[in-house]
Amino acid sequence: MIEKVHDDVKAQFMAQRYDVAVAGGGPAGSAAAWQAARSGARVVVFDKAEFPRDKPCGDGLTPRAVSFLQRMGLADDVAGFHRLNRATIFSPSEWELSFPRRPGMPDHGHGIRRTQLDTMLLMNAGAAGAEVRQSSEVVGPVVDDAGRVKGVTLKGGEKVSADAVIAADGTYSPVKRGLALESKYNGYSAIAIRAEMTAARPDSDSLDIHLTIAHRGDQLPGYGWVFPLGDGRVNIGLGYVNSYKKWQQINAADLLGEFMSTLPREWELPSVAELQKSKALQAWRLPMGFTAWPPWRPGVLFAGDAMGAARPVSGAGISKALQSGLVAAECAVAALTNGGPDDFTNYEQQVNAIWGSEYRRGRLFHRLVGVPTLTTAGLKVLDNLSNPKVRARLLFWEDTLSGN
């Protein structure tokens, strides 16, 4: 919903003026608010939810995500969560990948519930000086006659003015919808479903990834996962990308049930019906490969799922949300300091430099894996390889499990 600035609300609008207004207080928004507040900007972050709030997710933090949390001063907090040292791939034969040792980077990940992670991040942004407004729903951008975003409108009609708006309002971004934004990479996404449950097995330090999930005999472009959270709890889910032509015919809950029936019986997992009854089961869409491109328009920058920042190959989105939030805020503050809010090309350049070529390959991969015969053939090759580096390159397009 786009709102023009009318004279009768101008006085109130001017009274609430910020350098940066962030829509959405998930990982992308909290990282952006933290970064902008630390550089001295006057920042407000709005989230429609009251925290702690959940977000459908696998709850798996990659080493790179951990590195961003460390950078934000949260090293001790994150170290307290369940540690993950490796991934076990089932293709269907079972093989292992460890996270590489890289200078200055952690060699492990963590399993962490989003209720905890996101609350920690939002509080961290508040501690850095950002004004945090929970239960504040952004209904759309405020746009001037020249088409530049000047702030946001909240549910109830309140308008808040800002020199830059960072749209970190997730998959269904109302800021993006309000601008009717066209992106040349629109349409790349995944559908994912998950639930947290108890498993009767010792706690593992491995992210288990199962590549052989099928729909009516078609190998699907996706995977099932079992991510441990500690204390006997696991997050089990699956996701598949929408380049598979019949993706809309898939009942994600049924598919999850089929996948769970392949897991060891001695884990004594609940049935999908039980998970549905307890409302533990949640499905969500995951935009990927830059569904808002360029990632800015005059007055506004997009970060995290609102930008489609998740990795097109794996769907890992938390590290990308954190990184894009940090970079968006840095670029916004730099642009505001040096010229004004009409040109955030510096953000586009940075995003391109960091991810451009990886995401170009990723979008191609996204399209190719949608063809079941190709995916079946690719999996066969993968399954018969014995060199772990070659396997990792085929699966992740890199030599190692890079932890993106």
Ligand X SMILES: Cc1cc2nc3c(=O)[nH]c(=O)nc-3n(C[C@H](O)[C@H](O)[C@H](O)COP(=O)(O)OP(=O)(O)OC[C@H]3O[C@@H](n4cnc5c(N)ncnc54)[C@H](O)[C@@H]3O)c2cc1C
Is residue 284 a contact residue for ligand X (CB under 6 A)?
Answer: yes
Q: Does 289 bind ligand X (CB under 6 A)?
A: no
The verdict on 256 binding ligand X (CB under 6 A) reads: no
One DSSP character per residue, 298-325 reads TTEEE-GGGTT-B-TTT---HHHHHHHH
Length of the chain: 404
26 binds ligand X (CB under 6 A): yes
Cβ-in-10-Å burial (0-12, 13-18, 19+) of 37 comes to: buried
CB of 318 to ligand X, least distance (A): 3
Beta carbon nearer to ligand X, 24 or 341: 24
Footprint of ligand X on 138-157 (CB under 6 A): 138
Q: Is 131 in the site for ligand X (CB under 6 A)?
A: no
- Answer yes or no: are the C-beta atoms of 42 and 25 closer than 8 Å: no
DSSP H or E segment with residue 272: helix 272-277
Residue nearer to ligand X on the CB measure, 39 or 324 = 324
Contact characters 347-386, ligand X, x per CB under 6 A: ----------------------------------------
Tell me how far apart the alpha carbons of residues 280 and 267 are, in angstroms, rounded to a whole number. Answer: 18
Contact residue for ligand X among 3, 77, 169, 208 (CB under 6 A): 169
Residue with tokens 């207004």: 21
The window from 141-149, 177-185, 291-299, 304-312 that contacts ligand X (CB under 6 A) reads 304-312
265/279 with CB nearer ligand X: 279
Cα–Cα distance measured from residue 169 to residue 159, given in angstroms and rounded to the nearest whole number: 17
CB of residue 226 vs ligand X: minimum separation in angstroms?
11
Phi and psi torsions of 199, nearest 5°: -125, 135
Residues 37-96 that bind ligand X (CB under 6 A): 46-49, 55-60, 65
123 binds ligand X (CB under 6 A): no
Binding-residue total with ligand X (CB under 6 A): 39
Q: Tokens in use for 175?
A: 């800021």
Interaction of residue 310 with ligand X, rule CB under 6 A? yes
Per DSSP, the three-state class of 60 is: strand
Please tell me whether residue 174 binds ligand X under the rule CB under 6 A.
Answer: yes
Residue with tokens 């942004």: 125
Rounded to whole angstroms, the Cα distance separating 3 from 159 reads: 9
Pairing of strands 17-23, 43-46: parallel
Residues that bind ligand X (CB under 6 A): 23-29, 46-49, 55-60, 65, 137-138, 168-170, 174, 192, 194, 237, 284, 286, 304-306, 310, 315-319, 321
